[in-house]
Each structure stands twice: as structure tokens, then as C-alpha cells.
Amino acid sequence: AQSVTQPDIHITVSEGASLELRCNYSYGATPYLFWYVQSPGQGLQLLLKYFSGDTLVQGIKGFEAEFKRSQSSFNLRKPSVHWSDAAEYFCAAPMNRDDKIIFGKGTRLHILP
Amino acid sequence: DAGITQSPRHKVTETGTPVTLRCHQTENHRYMYWYRQDPGHGLRLIHYSYGVKDTDKGEVSDGYSVSRSKTEDFLLTLESATSSQTSVYFCAIRATSHEQYFGPGTRLTVT
């Protein structure tokens, strides 16, 4: 069965440090892949998306993600985090490119001053 | 901004009462979705719609029904609310390139 896995439930980093959030997927063909961010009390906002082509995609708020087919991964990165990046992050992929999306369980990011 | 609004934004209701949540979009998207979000469970799909009067079930559809009589509105109804339906409910639309855009959410408390 298709799945999207985020192995880390919580991640804590210091402000100014680099960040990498992990996402693994199981899917037969080349997937579409997404990262969303959810600040407390808010809806989900699309950070970036991968469809095809260049495996390194740039998103909003200074985030990027790299698609690695050999590792079935789509990890989210940011070179220097800001306190405002504290939020929950969700990786997602459509089911067989049909009508529905599978979401990972989310990774909550905490920022130390 | 995908032009999605949800109403009400907050609601407290009693067990056994019917509740209807509304999702409204302004951009004529064909696909609309209802999710619930609970701690430890992430986002779970309740129902979705792929056109006017065309709907299908998601993974947690028991106790919920939906209707879509016009493109811009997608209604979620809890026929007889239970405490297990206390949750935050999100509506979403699907863009042409498969990504989804979400509304601000409705926090529902069933007492």
C-alpha cells in the first residue's frame, strides 16, 4: 500500500541552525510530492511541490526539498531557521495520482532561542 | 490565497444534535475535500467531491454526510454529533496540478 512516512515526530533546533526534515514515500511510479506547513491555530500552507524534472525544488520562506528516487525520500531543508519557522510540517503525496492525497503524520519543529 | 472560507470557525454543540459545516470557494475548482485533524492522527479524509452532486467517501466517513449542490459550496453534516467528532475540520480544494489548498479550519466541540 502507498504510504508517506515522517520518521521524526518532534525536532528541536537552535535559531540560525540548519534544518532537515525527513520524508519517505512508497510509490511505484515517480510521485508528485508536497510539503505543507501549519502554524498553531492555522490551516495548512503549501511550502513547495515536486512533479518532475529538477530534483531540487525551491519553495516559499527559504525552504527547499530534494527528491531522491534511490532513497524514496523527499527531505525538506532550510540553511538557517528563524523563530517564526516553529510549526508543524507535513509531507504529502497523491494516491496513484488520483483524487486523494496521503499525508504523513507530521513533524513538529521547535526552535531554541 | 485560494479563496477558501469555512463557517462557522468555532462551534460548541451537544451530543445528539445535527451540525453542518460549510466550505465556500471562489475559484471554481472541481475537487473539494473535508478532513479532520486530531492529535496523533494527522489529517484524515472524511469525504470529497469531484463535481456537483458527485461525492465519495474517505477513510473516516462514518457518521458524516456531505452535499454539493453548486460548485462553490461543499457542506459537511454530522447527523447526530458525538463526542468522538470533537475535532478541527479542514476543507481543501485541489488545483489543476494536484496540490491542495486549505481553508482556515473549523474547531468543533461536542459536549
pLDDT in tens, A51-109: 888 889 999 999 999 999 899 999 999 999 999 999 999 999 887 656 788 899 999 99
Which pLDDT score, from 0 to 100, does residue A31 have?
75
Q: How confident is the model at residue B41 (pLDDT cuts 50, 70, 90)?
A: confident
Beta bridge partners of B77: B20, B65
CB A4 within 8 A of CB A106: no
Q: What's chain B's length in residues? A: 111
In A, minimum Cα distance to B105 occurs at A43
**Residue burial B59-92, b: 16+ Cβ < 10 Å; e: rest:** ebbeebebbbeeebebbbebeebeeebbbbbbbb
Least confident range of A6-15, A67-76, A91-100, B98-107? A91-100
Query: What mean pLDDT do residues A26-49 have?
Result: 88
Higher pLDDT, B77 or B95: B77
Burial class from Cβ neighbours inside 10 Å (0-12, 13-18, 19+) for residue A5 reads middle
Cβ distance B42 to A105 less than 8 Å, yes or no, reads: yes
Least confident range of A52-61, B18-27, B65-74? A52-61
With contacts defined as CB-CB under 8 Å, which chain A residues touch B48?
99-100
Interface test with B, best of A101, A102, A107, A108 (most B CBs within 10 A): A101
* Res A45 pLDDT > 90: yes
CA angle at B65 for the pair B63 and B66, rounded to the nearest 5°: 155
In A, minimum Cα distance to B42 occurs at A105
Quote the percentage of chain B above a pLDDT of 70.
98
Cα B53 to Cα A65, A98, B14, B56, distances in angstroms: 38, 19, 29, 10
Q: Which of B58, B98, B102 is facing A94, going by the closest CB pair? A: B98
